[in-house]
């Protein structure tokens, strides 16, 4: 039989691939995206994301699990980890295992050094230490907002968010003008702007005291002292971050894409949260929002900690289960909800076109991540992939597969391996993005929507 004839007779032989925009009502996709843009605008850091998630949970009747003596079917609870990570759960009829979707709340940014403030050439600046994998030159000439927590010597806590409201100042790192950049432009990309050049402008007005040294720095300290009661020493005990200021925006004549800071991983996080809130299931559904993924999931708010086990212990105790916390996790199933790198027409050379995610073609199912010979990957088993496929089919999810770039060209990981080490099967899934880890990432609204459909289907399987 000729190829064409066979293709007509047995169309199922070939994998069907078409834009997810063709199989979704545009209205549903757009209204989901509007809710996401509102979330992304306020969930800039893991702290502000945690606060926004808990705000949304409490509004819908979720209770702090620490306040509950016991748990029963129908209960909706959350577990707050250091105000930087949170686990939300809807208790269902089935309590032998949990259906867990894990995503992360932190995104690359510039953290303020322990001794940041100095003066140079009549300007006050703050020294920063970049957080996560960044292309440093991208963080110049971008309006920045300051977030975080600082305590005064007397122990008064200040939570900062400066630079988002219209009447608030912003901050910025300058880059060199092209007229004088001949030598700079001969450098490699990693050296065009070096880490120690990521110094943020914070002031220019000097104090009037003619005896004072560093008059502008003094003026900034005086201002912070007047407003917050802070002194220079307080920075050494603080946790302050500069992140891109501003709100997400629609991109393209058709408003199909969104640009914004932190799609990695607030997009998967938002789809995860909405999936949990909207799901109706006999299963016990858990949405896990972790911290510190961008620096290896370390620390006691990261997914490499034992926080899932701690949570399982509380659940077993309060539900009065007869299995151990470890058994509860072994019996669980998981999705690692994280973004993938999409095939960028401006940089096609880094992707294997046959195995790359394309914007607008649905949620990306990533059997494995990692780098080189699948190092540091959680490589999902075929048996589990078979279950995942059934969820995709049942919920009419438009899906595609992906690898993070061509083999040996780079790589990256997610929290998948930290969830699977407790024994639960895990697979990566999320929307594709362009410009990952840049101050302005791009995704397609329909991929976000398909991710939501998949996560919801997973909770409800």
Residues that bind Mn ion (CB under 5 A): 264-265, 338
CB of 354 to Mn ion, least distance (A): 24
Nearer to Mn ion, 164 or 264 (CB): 264
CB of 228 to Mn ion, least distance (A): 32
CB of 111 to Mn ion, least distance (A): 16
Residue in the block written with tokens 């930290």: 418
Nearer to Mn ion, 203 or 244 (CB): 244
Nearer to Mn ion, 234 or 265 (CB): 265
CB of 176 to Mn ion, least distance (A): 28
The residue at minimum Cβ distance from Mn ion is: 265
Instruction: Count Cα atoms within 13 angstroms, Cβ side, for 89.
Output: 31
Radius of gyration of the chain (CA): 24
Alpha carbon 375 to its chain's center: 22
Which helix (H) or strand (E) covers residue 163, if one does? none
At CA 256, angle to CA 250 and CA 262, rounded to 5?
55
Nearer to Mn ion, 265 or 291 (CB): 265
154 and 134 in contact (C-beta within 8 Å)? no
Nearer to Mn ion, 164 or 294 (CB): 294
- C-alpha separations of 101 from 245, 286, 304 in Å: 29, 6, 15
CB of 215 to Mn ion, least distance (A): 41
Rounded CA gap, 398 and 458, in Å?
14
CB of 337 to Mn ion, least distance (A): 9
For residue 78, the cross-strand partners are 64, 88
Nearer to Mn ion, 234 or 338 (CB): 338
For residue 342, the cross-strand partners are 357
Nearer to Mn ion, 52 or 265 (CB): 265
Residue in the block written with tokens 């300007």: 123
CB burial of residue 194 (10 Å; 0-12, 13-18, 19+): exposed
Residue in the block written with tokens 């979720």: 62
Measure the N-to-C terminal CA separation of the chain; round to a whole number of Å: 40
CB of 268 to Mn ion, least distance (A): 7
């Amino acid at each position: 039989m000729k190829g064409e004839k066979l293709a007509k007779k047995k169309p199922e032989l070939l994998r069907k691939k078409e834009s997810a925009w063709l199989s979704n009502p545009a209205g549903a996709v757009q209204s989901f995206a509007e809710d996401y843009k509102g979330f992304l605008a306020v969930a800039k850091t893991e702290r502000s994301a945690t606060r926004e998630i808990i705000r949304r949970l409490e509004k819908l009747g979720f209770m702090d699990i620490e306040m509950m003596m016991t748990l029963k079917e129908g209960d909706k609870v959350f577990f707050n980890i250091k105000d930087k990570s949170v686990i939300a759960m809807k208790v269902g009829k089935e309590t032998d295992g949990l259906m867990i979707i894990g995503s992360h709340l932190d995104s690359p940014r510039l953290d303020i050094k322990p001794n940041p403030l100095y003066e140079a050439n009549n300007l006050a600046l703050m020294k920063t230490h970049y957080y996560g994998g960044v292309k440093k030159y991208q963080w110049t000439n971008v309006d920045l907002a300051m977030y975080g927590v600082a305590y005064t010597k007397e122990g008064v806590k200040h939570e900062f968010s400066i630079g988002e409201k219209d009447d608030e100042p912003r901050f910025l790192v300058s880059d060199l003008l092209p007229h004088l950049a001949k030598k700079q432009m001969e450098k490699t990309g990693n050296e065009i702007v070096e880490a120690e050049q990521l110094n943020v402008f914070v002031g220019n007005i000097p104090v009037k005291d003619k005896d004072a040294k560093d008059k502008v720095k003094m003026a900034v300290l005086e201002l912070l002292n007047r407003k917050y009661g802070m002194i220079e020493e307080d920075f050494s005990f603080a946790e302050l971050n500069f992140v891109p200021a501003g709100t997400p925006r629609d991109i393209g004549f058709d408003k199909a894409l969104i640009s914004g800071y932190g799609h990695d991983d607030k997009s998967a996080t938002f789809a995860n949260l909405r999936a949990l809130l909207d799901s109706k299931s006999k299963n016990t559904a858990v949405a896990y929002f972790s911290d510190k993924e961008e620096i290896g999931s370390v620390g006691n708010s990261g997914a490499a900690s034992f926080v899932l086990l701690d949570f399982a212990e509380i659940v077993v105790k309060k539900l009065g289960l007869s299995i151990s916390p470890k058994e509860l996790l072994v019996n669980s199933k998981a999705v690692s909800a994280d973004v993938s790198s999409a095939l960028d027409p401006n940089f096609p050379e880094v992707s294997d076109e046959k195995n790359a995610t394309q914007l607008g073609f649905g949620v990306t199912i990533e059997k494995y991540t990692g780098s080189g010979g699948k190092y540091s990957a959680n490589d999902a088993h075929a048996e589990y992939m078979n279950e995942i496929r059934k969820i995709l089919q049942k919920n009419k999810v438009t899906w595609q597969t992906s690898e993070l770039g061509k083999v040996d060209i780079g790589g990256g990981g997610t929290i998948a391996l930290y969830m699977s080490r407790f024994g639960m099967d895990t697979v990566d899934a999320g929307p594709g993005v362009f410009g990952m880890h840049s101050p302005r990432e791009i995704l397609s609204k329909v991929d976000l929507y398909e991710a939501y459909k998949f996560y919801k289907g997973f909770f409800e399987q």
